[in-house]
Amino acid sequence: MGRLFAVDAAAASSAAAAAALNGAVDWWKDVNDSPMWQDRIFHALAVLYGIVSVVALVQLIRIECRVPEYGWTTQKVFHFLNFIVNGVRAIVFVLRRNVQLIQPEILQHVVLDMPGLAFFTTYALLVLFWAEIYYQARAMSTDGLRPTFYWINGVVYAIQIILWLVLWWKPVRIMVILSKMFFAGKILASFAVCV
Question: Are 90 and 53 a contacting pair, CB within 8 Å?
Answer: yes
Q: Where are the domains of the chain?
A: 33-101, 105-195
Q: How far is CA 84 from CA 20, 40, 89, in A?
A: 42, 23, 8
Contacts of 179 (CB under 8 A, 6+ apart): 109, 113, 160, 163, 164, 167
Question: Are 17 and 23 a contacting pair, CB within 8 Å?
Answer: no
Query: Who has greater pLDDT, 144 or 32?
Result: 144
Question: Are 98 and 61 a contacting pair, CB within 8 Å?
Answer: no
What average pLDDT score do residues 125-141 get?
90
pLDDT of the residue at 181: 83
Question: Are 136 and 142 a contacting pair, CB within 8 Å?
Answer: yes
What average pLDDT score do residues 103-114 get?
88
Q: What are 172-190's pLDDT values in tens digits?
A: 778 778 877 887 887 777 6
If you ran DSSP here, which 8-state letter would residue 82 be given? H
Query: Who has greater pLDDT, 32 or 191?
Result: 32
Average pLDDT, rounded, for the chain: 84
Task: Say if residue 20's pLDDT is above 70.
Answer: no
What average pLDDT score do residues 60-64 get?
94
For the chain, report the end-to-end CA distance as a whole number of angstroms.
54
Q: What letter represents residue 160's amino acid?
A: Q
Q: Is 139 left (phi over 0), alpha (psi -120 to 50) or beta?
A: left
Task: Say if residue 14's pLDDT is above 70.
Answer: no
Helices (H), 138-172: 145-169
- The crossing angle, in degrees rounded to 10, of helices 105-137 and 74-94 is 160
